[in-house]
């Protein structure tokens, strides 16, 4: 296949190495969509993007008039993502990272990798400080007592699980996994998990805002495709001596 005809959905995860030329029919509605779609070409080899703008559309005309400046600075025009502050699903994804970051940066004993095993009781004062900090932040942002209650409850659940992991015998607990350094020491078990194909739990922490759900690999089954056109390329004539054809 030499040509791919696609909608704006092309910008969502399509990764074909040999795509080198793209024609964009009209300016996309958002800068983020424009960057995502046009970044599908030239990923491993040189690429060219041709944007075809329509003079009768005011938005296209505006982009045409400021074409060079817009493309030199379009990363600063990327629209902000709309996320409802302290929504239950937002807390599911981001609360653990916030908890661990605050504890490690505010308390020296929790900072090293093996500092994860220092949380051996959910009644420690730093846990109470953490609950107060996050719940008060939620109250200021949302002006809701329900958000305060939900944040404290979710922090309590995670701290209880953290304490259970820290007090298990026969191993050491770190934020990341590691091998034993001395004879008689057990391997270091990981408290935090990276996103992947496994189900998310309370200690799955994304490393970026793009890691929301695991990727899905699509495989094209060419056996069910119809046969190609009934024609064959014309054979090339053999070159004659002296460069004449």
d(CA 144, CA 129): 20
The pLDDT of residue 116 is 93
Contact 32, 7 (CB under 8 A): no
Name the range with the highest mean pLDDT among 14-23, 29-38, 125-134, 227-236.
Answer: 125-134
Q: How far apart are the first and last CA of the chain?
A: 31
pLDDT tens per residue, range 131-179: 999 999 988 888 888 889 999 999 999 999 999 999 988 888 999 987 6
d(CA 116, CA 136): 25
Q: Report residue 102: phi and psi, to 5°.
A: -65, -45
24 pLDDT more than 60 = yes
210 pLDDT more than 70 = no
pLDDT tens per residue, range 141-152: 888 888 899 999
The pLDDT of residue 150 is 92
Q: What is the pTM of this model?
A: 0.57
Contact 194, 207 (CB under 8 A): yes
243 pLDDT more than 60 = no
Contact 151, 86 (CB under 8 A): yes
For the chain, give the mean pLDDT: 85
pLDDT tens per residue, range 216-229: 677 878 777 777 77
The pLDDT of residue 70 is 92
Of 29-33, 61-65, 83-87, 183-187, the range with the lowest mean pLDDT is: 183-187
Exposed/middle/buried for residue 101 (C-beta within 10 Å: 0-12, 13-18, 19+): exposed
Q: Give the tokens for residue 40.
A: 């599908």
pLDDT tens per residue, range 52-103: 999 889 989 999 999 999 999 988 888 877 778 888 888 988 899 999 999 9
Averaged pLDDT, 31-42: 88
Averaged pLDDT, 9-32: 84
């Amino acid at each position: 296949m030499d040509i791919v005809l696609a909608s704006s959905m092309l910008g969502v995860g399509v990764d074909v190495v040999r795509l080198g030329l793209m024609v964009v029919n009209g300016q996309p509605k958002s800068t983020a969509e424009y960057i995502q779609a046009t970044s599908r070409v030239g990923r491993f080899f040189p690429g060219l993007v041709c944007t075809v703008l329509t003079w009768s559309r005011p938005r296209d005309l505006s982009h045409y008039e400021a074409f060079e400046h817009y493309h030199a600075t379009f990363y600063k025009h990327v629209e902000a993502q709309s996320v409802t502050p302290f929504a239950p699903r937002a807390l599911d994804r981001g609360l653990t990272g916030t908890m661990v970051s605050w504890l490690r940066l505010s308390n020296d004993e929790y900072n090293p990798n093996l500092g994860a095993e220092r949380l051996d009781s959910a009644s420690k004062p730093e846990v109470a400080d953490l609950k107060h900090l996050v719940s008060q932040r939620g109250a200021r942002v949302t002006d809701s007592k329900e958000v305060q209650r939900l944040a404290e409850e979710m922090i309590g659940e995670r701290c209880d699980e953290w304490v259970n992991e820290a007090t298990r015998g026969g191993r050491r607990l770190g934020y990341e996994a590691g091998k034993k350094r001395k004879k008689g020491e057990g391997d270091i078990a990981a408290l935090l998990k990276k996103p992947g194909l496994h189900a998310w739990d309370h200690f799955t922490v994304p490393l970026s805002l793009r890691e929301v759900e695991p990727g899905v690999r699509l495989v094209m089954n060419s056996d069910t495709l119809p046969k190609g056109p009934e024609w064959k390329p014309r054979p090339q004539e053999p070159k004659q001596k002296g460069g004449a054809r």
